[in-house]
Structure 1
């Protein structure tokens, strides 16, 4: 058994490549979905919460105010395409394809194309609120001043060495 398998810490994987956060500031593989927040191309004050379910490829896209995306009318909108592209940059094509249960794992367009071929349905946007809330929690940490004292909500992180 390796050190990290017997450790109480989670293994941290570095990003496949550095990402530019302006278009897709938040992307994660969680809760059986690829989900994240995508900036609007037309309004700097608007963001979209987009998600694609693993296996079924059911997708949802809505604004942070729960208004449906105008481009997601039975097909993946530009926000979902951007989310898939940034997920591949963050996690690598193989990991994203494996998580979403897509056979093709060469790049973002192959993953997206394979999911579109399965004719996914548009789902409800019930996951939008928790995803956006988590994004806001992440943003709050950026506003904290630099300090070495522990944060109470981060106490569950062990104070041991980082595992890579």
Structure 2
């Protein structure tokens, strides 16, 4: 067992390439979806919670107030396009394509290759039930940015219970 496998912390995978957080401040591959928060292009106070499901590419996009995105009618909206682009920057095209189960001819697929392959299957409009969970995780990440720098442990970050010696 390597040192990191026996610790209570997880390895942080560095981004494939640096990305700008203004347009897509939060992106993750979780819960069988590519999901995240995308800033509105027209209103600085509005964000969209967007997601694409792995396998069937069912997509959802709504505001943080659960109002549906006007551009997500029958196909991916610009918010989902931006989410895919930023996910490729964060995780790399191969990892995003593998997670979403997208088959492309490209060895290192770009965001355009992934989106085109998904559109070719005719993705269905999904439900936005996960939007509240995604937005909540985003807000929790923002709260950590406001904490003062310290080396003391944070109770909410201690995921594993203390181990007891077994006699």
| TM-score, normalising length: structure 1 | 0.91
User: Which residue pairs with 1:3 in the alignment?
Assistant: 2
Conservation of the 8 A alpha-carbon contact between 1:4 and 1:11? no
Aligned length: 157
- What pairs up with 1:52-67 in 2 under 5 angstroms? 52-67=52-67
Secondary structure class of the residue paired with 2:29 = strand
Q: Give the gaps of 5 or more residues in structure 1.
A: 159-164
- What pairs up with 1:73-92 in 2 under 5 angstroms? 73-92=73-92
Q: Give the gaps of 5 or more residues in structure 2.
A: 162-167
1:11-69 Cα shifts (integer Å, max 9, x gaps): 32111011100000000000000000000000000000000000010000000000000
1:116-140 Cα shifts (integer Å, max 9, x gaps): 0000010111010000000000000
In 1, the alpha carbon distance for the partners of 2:20 and 2:14 equals 15
- Which protein has the larger Cα radius of gyration, Structure 1 or Structure 2? 2
Secondary structure class of the residue paired with 1:141 = helix
Q: Calculate the aligned-residue CA RMSD, in Å.
A: 1.6
| TM-score, normalising length: structure 2 | 0.89
What stretches of structure 1 move > 6 A for 4+ residues in a row? none
In 1, the alpha carbon distance for the partners of 2:66 and 2:25 equals 18
